Structure 1
Amino acid sequence: MWLKFLIFAGLGYMVYKALAGPGPEKNRPRMDRQDVRQIDDVMVQDPVCKVYFPKREGVAAKVDGQLMYFCSEECMKKYLNQK
């Protein structure tokens, strides 16, 4: 009697899990290291063209003792020529 109950209970649970689908933790998108780096990156504004870009992708130049970031070599050259 108990054996039949345990078998039916086990089968019922397996059918329930099959119909219910994955739990909430499996529906969440998985983040790899590249995604984490993108989230942690800081956005800065180019002083010439006013475009925002990730700081790590910018071109750095030290101007008057201050480190500045530009979206491209072209914008950096424009800024340095204006000074």
Structure 2
Amino acid sequence: MSKILPTDVRHDVVHHIPTLRRFAFRFCRNSTEIDDLVQETLVKAIAASDTFEPGTRLKSWLFTIMRNVYCTSYNKQRRVGSRS
């Protein structure tokens, strides 16, 4: 079970949402897809909050999560598309 992010980390995560949206633009061109990717990233970050190491760069951690979320989704779509 994941722990609750400390208030300062939650504030920092919220602070990074605009940066996450800009980074998501590298993967998606549609604003709806960008919003979905950012939301999924935040959900995964909260669920994995116990793996975040204080003193490391939160932005880099969030970007890594976003990249992994996108790659997983992309690979899943390719597998589903190849079955058609």
How does the TM-score come out when normalised to structure 1? Answer: 0.27
Write 1 or 2 for the structure with the bigger share of helix: 2
Look at both structures and tell me which one has the larger radius of gyration over its CA atoms: 1
Write 1 or 2 for the structure with the bigger share of strand: 1
